[in-house]
Amino acid sequence: MINLLIAEDQAMLLTTLASLLDLENDINVIHQSKNGQDALDFLLDKSSTPIDVLLTDIEMPQLTGIELVQEIQSHQLAIKSIILTTFSRSGYLRRAMDAGVKGYLLKDSPSGELLSAIRKIAKGGKVIAPELLQDAWMEIDPLTDNERRALRLAKDGATTEMIAEKLHLSEGTIRNYLSSASSKLNAKNRIEAARIAHQNGWL
């Protein structure tokens, strides 16, 4: 039996996915999370049922899917991760692979492909959409993790003071991160930098 956790912030899709996968005799959906932090809390709870495979979206509140996978790696949890997303951006795929995901599928993939991928990955395999692989290694993500965090908050409208408070850093440090990110992306300001980074899948 494959014990599965699904992390997806769109409630209807989360419910639909869980219902679809629970119909399979060899898949057991143990938990459904609407954001990355809830998923991580469940995975770190020693009283929770052990999870074999995580199926996660990328863009979610509190923790993105990629950040969730990075946390799983940092805690050395024996959980195999699959990204299921609408985004075919090469930056996302490269960051996901660098984080250690075993699968990267698009949401418009047939349900049969998803089921096959879950079973293959549970057995130790990898499933990456082949049409995305070439592009993933063409562009290199220029941002550091700190620049990325600051830009993501700037994209949501946060001021320098708010970003500094959120990340527990000084305002001067945040201004440096945002300035550096803007320079790397040839952007006129933090808003344009955030837009460019988002379009490329670097946020």
The per-residue pLDDT for range 76-122, each reduced to its tens digit, is 999 999 999 887 776 788 888 888 999 999 888 888 999 999 999 99
What pLDDT, on the 0 to 100 scale, is given for residue 136? 52
CB-based contacts of 158: which residues, under 8 Å, 6+ apart? 166
Alpha carbon 175 to its chain centroid, in Å, reads: 26
**Contact by Cβ (8 Å): 178, 160:** yes
Integer Cα distance of 41 and 198 in angstroms: 27
What pLDDT, on the 0 to 100 scale, is given for residue 193? 92
What pLDDT, on the 0 to 100 scale, is given for residue 90? 67
When comparing pLDDT for 132 and 44, which is higher? 44
**Architecture of domain 2-136 in this structure:** 3-Layer(aba) Sandwich (3.40)
> What are the extents of the domains in the chain?
2-136, 145-199
Comparing C-alpha atoms, which of 139, 146, 137, 157 is closest to residue 179?
146
The reported pTM is 0.70
**Contact by Cβ (8 Å): 17, 54:** no
Q: Which fold has domain 145-199?
A: Arc Repressor Mutant, subunit A (1.10.10)
Integer Cα distance of 21 and 75 in angstroms: 27
* Over residues 138-165, mean pLDDT: 88
What pLDDT, on the 0 to 100 scale, is given for residue 31? 97
Structure tokens at 172: 């001067």
